[in-house]
Structure 1
Amino acid sequence: MRGQAAALAMMQDTCEITVPGAGRGPLNPDTGQREAPAPVTLYSGPCRVRQPNLAAAEADAAGQALAVSDRIVSIPLAGDGYTEQGRAGIPARKATVRIVTVNPTGDPELAGRSFSYEAPMAQQSYPTARRMRCKEAE
């Protein structure tokens, strides 16, 4: 438990993890078109963001060159930040991690950025946090 407490102490930023909403979204009265359904929040609470490598990879999306940066986002193993849906699990390749606030000594450019959750980091016997490998297209 001391390891989990130490990991939580390092989580001084705040993030929100969502997945796309299901079903039909609301009707926009101005356009007459349906909008996307509201995203479903799985987690909202403390987190830690790290960049494991300094080199960004190149990606080609529809003929457009993008720099893709890896990040590791850590959240507590359990706690009040998880919604009922979040306690059931956070699906890789579907969830979005948005950084809401950054600690005062952190990088202010991080606030408001979004990352796609790619895969969980290796699971282990005595975990101190849930670590997620994420990517950001810049």
Structure 2
Amino acid sequence: MVLDALLARGRAAAEALMVDACEVRRPTGEGSDDDGNVVVTYEPVYSGKCRVQQPNAQAAQQDAGEDYMLMLRLEVHLPMSVVGLEAGDEITVTASQHDLDLVGRRFVVRDLAHKSHATARRVGVTERTS
């Protein structure tokens, strides 16, 4: 079918732009270390190529108690083969070909988008910048 061929080409083109790498992990619970500090436990969800985009350069201020937080909204594009993502999953950029400042950044999945003819899995994320 023509649509299937077009979609396959679109997905291949989208993946060709995914020159960064990331890991996605899901919090599964909490424990404590030998000093009694709370430690979050995780399970791996995905590791592989990705692309980080910033659709707009606007950050939102949030106040938690007396803490001032600046929350930056971005998109992380993943291959369509990545399934089962959930809000609250954590994405860490592990490599970036063109922006070394992305490496090590952590984002929390906030928005999931689904559509029939997507060329990439575009995930809305936030990053706490302060």
TM norm structure 2: 0.84
| Match of residue 135, structure 1, among 102, 126, 129 | 126
The percent of aligned pairs where both chains have the same amino acid is: 33
| Stretches of structure 1 lacking an aligned partner (at least 5 in a row) | none
Distance 1:65 1:27 in 2: 28
RMSD (CA atoms): 1.9
Once superposed, which parts of structure 1, at least 4 consecutive aligned residues long, lie more than 2 Å away? 24-28, 33-38
The answer on 1:48 being equivalent to 2:51 is: yes
TM-aligned CA distance change 1:21 to 1:63, over 3 Å: same
| Match of residue 2, structure 1, among 4, 9, 12 | 9
| Stretches of structure 2 lacking an aligned partner (at least 5 in a row) | 1-7
Distance 2:76 2:16 in 1: 14
Residue correspondence of structure 1 range 92-111 to structure 2 within 5 A = 92=87, 94-103=88-97, 106-111=98-103
**Structure 2 match to 1:12:** 19
State the 1:127 CA deviation.
Answer: 0.9
TM-aligned CA distance change 1:37 to 1:11, over 3 Å: same
Pairs aligned (count): 122
TM-aligned CA distance change 1:34 to 1:62, over 3 Å: closer
